[in-house]
Every structure is written in C-alpha cells, then in structure tokens.
Amino acid sequence: MNGFKTVILMTVMMVLFILVGNLIGGQSGMMIAFVLALVMNFGSYWFSDKIVLAMYKAKQIERNDMPEYYDAVERLASDANLPMPKVYLIENPTPNAFATGRNPQNSAVAVTTGILRILNRDELEGVIAHELTHILNRDILVGTIAATLVGTITMVARMAGWAAMFGGSSRDDKEGSSPIADLVLMIVAPIAAILIQMAISRSREYLADQGGARISGKPLALASALNKLTQTNEVIPMQNAGSSSAHMFIVNPLSGKSLMKLFSTHPPVEERVARLNEIANGRR
C-alpha cells in the first residue's frame, strides 16, 4: 500500500512540475520540467533523507556521545526487529523528533535537544518507538520524498509567479501567457502539494502511535509525551521548520502559527491521546 502511495505521490508531483514548466516556458518548459521531475524523483529516493537531515543541521551521534538516548534507540529497534538506525541530534530548543530514510536498512532517527530536556525516560522511549514504527511501516520513504518535492514545487511556483508578474514568462505557444492563470497556478501548486501531504500523513500518525505503544509497552507515556510536545510547540514553534517537512515530525512544529493549523498534516492531539488511552485500557 505504501508503495502504491509513493507512485501516486511521484505522479502528482510530476504533473505539478509539468504545469509550472508550461507556465514558465510553454512546450519547451514542459519538457524541461518533465526531465527535472524525473531527476528530482530519483534524487529524492536516494538522497532526500540526507537533505532533510542537513536542512535541520542534524549531527550523527554514537553511544559515547549520549549513551541513554543511543541505548534507547538500540534496545527499541531490537524489540521491533529492525536494523539499528543511525542516531541524530538537532540543536534546537523546540522539542520534536522525526525518522527518515528510504528503507529500514537505510534509516535514521533524529530528536531535538529540546525533547531531551522536557521528557522523562518512559516518554522518550514512547516517542522513539513511534518513530521506529514509521520505519517499520516504511512510511518514511513517502515522507522524505514529500519533504523534498513539496519544497521544490513551492520554490519553482514562486519563481514562475515572479516571472509572470515582471513579464519574464517565455511561453512558446501562440496564445501567449495569461497573467491570471499564472497567478492562480503559483498559488494553487504549493497548496495542492501540502494537501497531498495531509492526505497521506494523518492516517500514518495514528498507526505510528499504535505501533509506538506496542513496541515501548508504554501507551500512557507516549500520550503524556504528545501532550507535552504539542503544548510546548504551541508556545515555541520551531523557527527553522518549513511546511514542506513539517509532516515528518511527531507533532506539528508549526502549530504555534495559526495559519498553519488550517493545513496541519497531523491529526488532533486530543484524538491521538484518546486512542492511546483506549490501548492502555485494552479497548483497542
């Protein structure tokens, strides 16, 4: 199912690339955009995890650097029958975490310094188990591809919009450029990309919470962690987080920005906590 989602994601992103290419350069622009889309799909498959980790200046750590954090990842990965992922730390006061990588053999778990300050051991293990579930379910390929391609579509759409506004469009068809159509596409393409993320991401978070509760054996600790993380991100949103990669985090890093709530890739934390409470009480 995730493989099918990946194909759909790549196809829709390619269509958006081609539409923007047509906006900038007509038929020749479409061909250039088509080739660019193929290159981006290939690059995002192989390198998007490295791009996302570099985006947040994540540093790989070993056991000697942070033994408690590293040992927790190692133990929980073993419990989940997963290869040991690479372990990363992000120097950021906003508490959050994500997993990335194209498959379990090439995966990574990253947490911020902020999360290590506010969570106790059980809560941290619940968060790590949640991220390992994303790896186990192979969700992270979809997430990392989306993080790379959505950001690129947004950038190209903005370039197209500026070109249209300043008369830089070079369509080669006879009808010429339509400034209104160009402006609409500039706005719609990034929104469409974000909506794709939303459709994919919300169901994955529920499944990752369920798997995280199972792997860690601590559903109430994970529920407590989600409450703490959400409340703190409301007050201290992650300053360098972009909408293209927000869906990868365990809680929305942009939740403190009111406009972003309209496009949240995460389900309501109240519903997530309620489901974890049901798991703890044996009702799910």
Enumerate the domain spans of the chain. 49-148+175-280
Which architecture, in CATH terms, is 49-148+175-280? 2-Layer Sandwich (3.30)
Active site residues: 131
Which residues fall within 8 angstroms of residue 72, CB to CB, at 6 or more apart? Answer: 121, 124, 125, 128
Q: Which residue has the higher pLDDT, 99 or 22?
A: 99
How would you classify the pairing of strands 86-90 and 106-112?
parallel
Average pLDDT value for residue range 91-119: 95
Instruction: For the chain, give the mean pLDDT.
Output: 81
Q: Band of the pLDDT at 37, cuts 50, 70, 90?
A: low
- pLDDT at position 267 is 87
Note every long-range contact of 27-36, with CB atoms under 8 Å and residues 24 or more positions apart, other chains counting: 27/172, 27/173, 28/172, 29/170, 29/171
pLDDT value for 114 = 97
Rounded Cα–Cα distance for residues 100 and 95 (Å) = 17
Per-residue pLDDT band at 61 (split at 50, 70, 90): very high
Residue 192 has pLDDT above 90, yes or no: no
For the whole model, what pTM was predicted?
0.77
Cα–Cα distance, 124 to 222 (Å, whole number): 8
Give 174's pLDDT tier (boundaries 50, 70, 90).
Answer: very low
Cβ neighbours for 160, distance < 8 A, ≥ 6 positions apart = 20, 23, 24, 169, 182, 185, 186
pLDDT attached to residue 126: 98
Query: How confident is the model at residue 173, as a pLDDT?
Result: 47
| Mean pLDDT calculated for residue range 248-260 | 73
More confident residue, 248 or 153: 248
Candidate from 15-29, 66-80, 91-105, 123-137 with smallest mean pLDDT: 15-29
Q: What is the pLDDT of residue 97?
A: 97
First to last CA, the chain: 23
Choose between 197 and 67: higher pLDDT: 67
pLDDT at 170 over 60: no
Query: Of the given ranges (101-110, 158-167, 231-240), which has the lowest mean pLDDT?
Result: 158-167
Q: Is the per-residue pLDDT at 210 higher than 80?
A: yes
- 191: confidence class by pLDDT, cuts 50, 70, 90: confident
Is the pLDDT higher at 127 or at 190? 127
* Mean pLDDT, rounded, for 180-208: 73
For a pLDDT cut of 70, what percent of the chain falls above it? 66
- Average pLDDT on 140-166 reads 66
